[in-house]
Chain A
């Protein structure tokens, strides 16, 4: 069954604006990861946040994790056309070695 569910399914913004994507999950997790996928390409790992962390930054990316609400958000600041891609959250459940992905948010950044 799907663990992570991203919201919104699609997002279209102008260059320079911020983009926020949300992810909800159902069971307890060890960590939550965000990936990016350009059309027709593989997944690129963006950031990992552990279950005991609340916020993490990497360049223009900011990820938050609220384990009480079983949700995470990915913020991309000052977006660029090159940020156009699909973004997926993935969780690792306790005792498991498999990543469980959501359906993703398709982000379009218009120049």
Chain B
């Protein structure tokens, strides 16, 4: 049973370019969460999605960031016009249902470097 799959694992972008990070949840999981980790920091919640719905995007920056989880295919975190401050590790997690009180499963992360 494959775990949460994220790609790419490492991504280098120049300032102003776009970054697209993909997340395939575990089989049977319909809930996806994105977190960002700055160097030497803990993870910060960004967005929570179910298939075709954004449930909670309270952690998403107001501009340049967007997320989707289409009916078919992986969840995508998109960062437009990247800046150096976007350099971070982006982690996706999934759960089979509303997870309060249960465990969510994390992917290995996508490390974005903006040069």
Contact = CB atoms under 8 A, between A and B. Distances in A.
Interface of A: 2, 4, 30-31, 33, 35, 40-45, 48, 50, 88, 90, 92, 96-104
Given A97-B48, A98-B56, A42 B101 contact: no
A48 B58 CA distance: 25
A104 B43 CA distance: 9
A98 B42 CA distance: 14
Nearest to B91: A42
Contacts, number: 64
B109 A41 contact: yes
A14 B103 CA distance: 31
A101 B48 contact: no
A98 B106 contact: no
Contact of A88 (B43, B56, B58): B43
Contacts of B100: 30-31, 92, 96-97
Interface of B: 31, 33, 35, 40-45, 48, 55-56, 58-59, 91, 98-109, 111
Contacts of A102: 42
Contact of A43 (B31, B98, B99, B106): B106
Given A44-B106, A97-B56, 5 more contacts: A4-B42, A45-B105, A99-B45, A99-B104, A103-B40
Nearest to A95: B100
B103 to A, nearest CB: 5
Contact of B109 (A33, A42, A97, A103): A42
B42 A97 contact: no
